[in-house]
Amino acid sequence: MTDSLQRKRVVITGLSVVSPLGNNIADLIQQVFGGVSGIKLLDAPFVDQLDCKIAAQAQFNPADHFSKHTYSMLDRASQMALYTSIEAIKNAGLILDDAVKPRMGIYLGTGMGGANSLEEGYVRLYRDGASRLKPFTVLMSMNNAAASAIALEHQITGPNQTFSTACSSSAVAIGEAARLIRHGYADVMLAGGTEALLTYGSIKAWEALRTLAEEDVDDLGASCKPFSANRTGLVLGEGAAMLLLESFEHAEARGATIYAEIVGYGTANDSNHITQPSVNGQASTMQAALADAGLSPNDIQYINAHGTGTQLNDITETNAVKKVFNGHAYKLSMSSTKSMHGHLMGAAGALETIITTLAVNTNMLPPTINLIRPDTECDLDYVPNVSKTLPNLEYAMSNSFAFGGTGATLILKKVK
């Protein structure tokens, strides 16, 4: 049997977020398409010890959603992931019965898993001189803790895997989950990502890497300036984002609302440099996704860019888009929503896939805010500062690229 005969359509039927731009889809729509910045002064007791005092922080209190017994045994990353899993299932209107659970799985992306729990353990051990740590330290800090917590909460018995490819982690998780459904190994998948890296140690490590943005003294919310001549780097963010994926047949049979269809996925490693992206590497993921979708470059109308706001990435991604799309690069629109929600690292791809899904669903393109002085080497349409309508939007692409070289591209289609 050929692959084309085996291939099932994969659709998105549930969405949920914990993000710097809100903890539900309605708030996310209002803020991301309204050009609102979630970048502020970090609310943390150690902020005065930081060189970079800004972050895109999620306003999430686990006590509002879980019992103390539940949240006390989960790292912040797992708490947010568990909450979004519950909300995504609710958003999809899916009933988890005995027929669904064995054919349902969880694919989750994260860069550093339970970083808060690990750092807390180190502080207790090395600074405070504790002779023993919390019994659950290992279980809270392991990378697969969030996916495991979701499986236990919902009693989901299908495939459960955690992907850790730095900033492309959750895009890879979504793409691989779509493949699982496409080839008949599952009917339903929870796919997304989570990250909670706003700890003292993590931020100091990023400061040492010299990739964090300088604070905009006139407007802290304008500190991340992708594709701008005066951009200075990325802003760390935190949060979780979850999508519920189904085969089209499964979704149709239960009368589910469909947000969009995943028609293409490409992933590759550029094998160029541990931190420096390459044009060829980024182009290869987009080309792979186009080939997977059976589309030509001219079919794509919008790209949600990786768009970190660093000097090298923004130029590299712009040139990679030109390499793949040639003259059509100047006809499509591309924006970096990281200008508003910061860089959620392992959760970034999932949040940006949700935003791209909303763009396809609403015919609205989110802006790249703070783009006042464009870089002459970044000369495409980045939807500067204000969102715009694209009435005939049918195909959109979401890019995620990472330290270590693993990139992932997803292509979404409007379901009419």
Indicate if 52 belongs to the active site: no
Q: In this structure, what token pair is assigned to residue 15?
A: 């969405």
C-alpha–C-alpha distance, residues 318 and 331, integer Å: 13
The residue to which tokens 């604070």 are assigned: 215
187 touches 246 (CB < 8 A): yes
**Catalytic site residue from 250, 306, 341, 378:** 306
Indicate if 306 belongs to the active site: yes
E strand spans, 270-326: 302-304
**Catalytic site residue from 52, 154, 167, 250:** 167
C-alpha–C-alpha distance, residues 354 and 340, integer Å: 15
Q: Which of 295, 247, 248 is nearest to 104 (CA)?
A: 247
Rounded to the nearest angstrom, the gap between the alpha carbon of residue 51 and the centroid of all alpha carbons in its chain is 26
249 touches 6 (CB < 8 A): no
Q: In this structure, what token pair is assigned to residue 126?
A: 């090395």
Indicate if 343 belongs to the active site: yes
236 touches 56 (CB < 8 A): yes
**Catalytic site residue from 224, 341, 343, 378:** 343
Cα angle vertex 161, ends 308, 408, to 5°? 30
86 phi, psi to nearest 5 deg: -65, -45
The residue to which tokens 């949240």 are assigned: 71
C-alpha–C-alpha distance, residues 214 and 101, integer Å: 47
CA dihedral 170, 172, 174, 175 (to 10 degrees): 170
The shares of helix, strand and coil residues in the chain, as percent rounded to the nearest 5, are 40, 20, 40
Q: How many CA atoms, within 13 angstroms, populate the side-chain half-sphere of residue 108? A: 31
Residue positions annotated with a catalytic role: 167, 306, 343
